[in-house]
Amino acid sequence: MSNQKFRALIIDDSPTDQQTLSHLLTKRLNCQIETANDGLEGIDKLSRQRFSVVFLDMLMPLMNGDEVLKEIRGYPATADLPVVICSSQADPKLVKSVVKLGIFDYVLKPYNKEGVMRLVATFERLKAHAEESTSDDTPAENGRPVLLVADADNNFRHFVATTLSEKFNVIQAGSGALAVSLVLKQRPQVLLAGPELGILGRDKLIQKLRASKATDGLKIFAVDGDNKQKGGFDSKLFEGTVPRTYIPEVFLKAIDQILVVPSVRGPKGLSVVEQLKPALVSATEQVFGMMMAVEVSETAEPTTIAPDAQALVGTISLSSYSEEKKLTIMFGCDKACAAVLATKMVGEKKQVDGEEPTQRALAEVMSITGGRIENTLDEQGRTYLLGSPRVEERQGIDISSPGASLTHFVGEGGLRFCIAMSASPCPSLKVTKTDLKEGWVLAQDVLVANAEPVLKGTQLSAETLRQVQSVGPEEIEIFEPV
């Protein structure tokens, strides 16, 4: 993508900051610029125009940056749009919230010399990202499958989008003409076609789609296909039917019966640790860059400390009950490095001393890094629950284990540390049924007299908890709570 085609939207309520950033992007980087004075105006422009990147302020009237970012990520057309946060705030909680939603970079205001250099470096990465994204016309394989619901009833479309949000990227069409356009542009894997789609009619519409090569591999299901009052349907044109219901459990059960939702994974032959290593390295680099304005990079030189020196080790885990797998991320450094890390995080000129602030800083780093990995897994359609970080002082810095990925990093200011990721079976334990708690997940099927069994992987609601406690066995196996 050439610079002339690179279009940026600046959403910022400060005319001065708008002007400064616009000047940099147009004069120095040869960008095309659009501006918005608040979040609502920005959302409006994003809904009507295509951009290569958004530069987003956090503190604005009407809609703040956090709300705008949620809207951007929640809309299929902009879900993967690079967003660079430009803010005068460096609050770790704020950084953590936007990092989890997915951002390209976090640049601190005002735009001084260091800020300008960082923006230029960010822009170069954006160009490389854009060229990589447009180098192949095949659909991306690192997100949820796309489902199109085409139906004249706006309430039903909204219900489908909300109910299936964890399984699919749901796009919507209120007419047959729009449905055809979206099929050709978005190439969904699944189409739910309602009976009322405009003048052309559902069956004729599907006939035309079936005649197009663009629908190869598209599974099409009729909504209300068995309702004769709605005109019925030609069963030869569809893989099956789904009911028009507004009960989430009923609708999800119907979808699960007709579809096996593809579970997106990384390259074949790679373990989950190998698949996620690039994401972990990227998350580490971004967390340090965003939270501490420190560039860190991989190094082949091992992280070592003196034999009698004390190390700080941070640990955080992500658990999947469906995959029965637990991922453990560990961070190791000496106490001097941890003190530098804490100092840079709070932005103080003098060194931070004491165990509490250094351990708290490392815990925050682990929490945000783990959140980025959780987000990466979520984009792959894989549900992992993030636990709480733990930090301990120990003798030595060895955090390696069989099958783990171990990466060493160096950075300015004396930062030298290592990060490891490993995978293991999701642990389980047996508890008496009277000790069960709501929210825990069953690691076994529980047979219930005169009723459907409560299946392994079920998260105990108040109702299922009462059911299992009243008629289940005395001991129940559960997955160890995160």
Domain identity same for 421 and 338: yes
The 10s digit of each residue's pLDDT in 430-444 is: 999 889 888 888 888
Domain identity same for 301 and 407: yes
Q: What pLDDT score does 117 carry?
A: 74
Domain identity same for 356 and 434: no
444 in a structural domain: yes
Residue that terminates a domain, selected from 98, 133, 168:
133
| Alpha-carbon distance values, 213 to 74, 187, 219 (Å) | 30, 11, 13
Q: Is 274 helix (H, G, I), strand (E, B) or coil?
A: helix
Residue that terminates a domain, selected from 258, 292, 325:
258
Please, are residues 426 and 321 in contact by the beta-carbon 8 Å criterion?
yes
Domain identity same for 117 and 207: no
289 in a structural domain: yes
138 in a structural domain: no
Domain identity same for 222 and 363: no
Instruction: State pTM to two decimals.
Output: 0.55
Residue 200: pLDDT band (50, 70, 90) is: low
264 in a structural domain: no
Domain identity same for 234 and 371: no
pLDDT at position 142 over 50: no
CA 321, chain centre distance (Å):
18
Q: What pLDDT score does 133 carry?
A: 47
Domain identity same for 298 and 212: no
Domain identity same for 100 and 197: no
140 in a structural domain: no
Q: How many domains does the chain have?
A: 4
The half-sphere exposure of 146 on its side-chain side, counting CA atoms within 13 A, is: 22
The CATH number of whichever domain residue 181 belongs to comes to 3.40.50.2300
Q: What pLDDT score does 260 carry?
A: 56
Domain identity same for 233 and 318: no
Q: What percent of the chain has pLDDT over 70?
A: 85
Strongest mean pLDDT among 14-18, 133-137, 155-159, 288-292: 14-18
Residue 315: pLDDT band (50, 70, 90) is: very high
The 10s digit of each residue's pLDDT in 57-91 is: 988 887 888 889 988 887 777 887 889 988 887 77
Q: What pLDDT score does 128 carry?
A: 61
- Rounded to 5 degrees, φ, ψ at 150 are -110, 110
pLDDT at position 10 over 90: yes
Residue 66: partners with Cβ closer than 8 Å, 6 or more residues away: 58, 94, 97, 98
pLDDT at position 268 over 50: no
pLDDT at position 194 over 70: yes
- Residues 198-220, mean pLDDT to the nearest whole number: 76
263 in a structural domain: no
Residue 36: pLDDT band (50, 70, 90) is: very high
Q: What pLDDT score does 77 carry?
A: 75
pLDDT at position 92 over 50: yes
Cβ count within 10 A of residue 232:
15
Domain identity same for 346 and 378: yes
Domain identity same for 299 and 366: yes
Q: Per residue in 338-372, is it b (16+ CB within 10 Å) or e — as a string?
A: bbbbbbbbeeeeeebeeeebbbbbbbbbbbbbbbb
The CATH number of whichever domain residue 341 belongs to comes to 3.40.1550.10
Please, are residues 261 and 147 in contact by the beta-carbon 8 Å criterion?
no
Residue 199: pLDDT band (50, 70, 90) is: low
74 in a structural domain: yes
Q: What pLDDT score does 355 carry?
A: 64
Q: What pLDDT score does 270 carry?
A: 56
Domain identity same for 399 and 286: yes
- Structural domain boundaries, residue 289: 272-425
Quote the CA–CA distance of 32 and 384 in Å, as a whole number: 40
pLDDT at position 247 over 80: yes
The CATH number of whichever domain residue 460 belongs to comes to 3.90.105.10
434 in a structural domain: yes
Residue that terminates a domain, selected from 425, 444, 471:
425
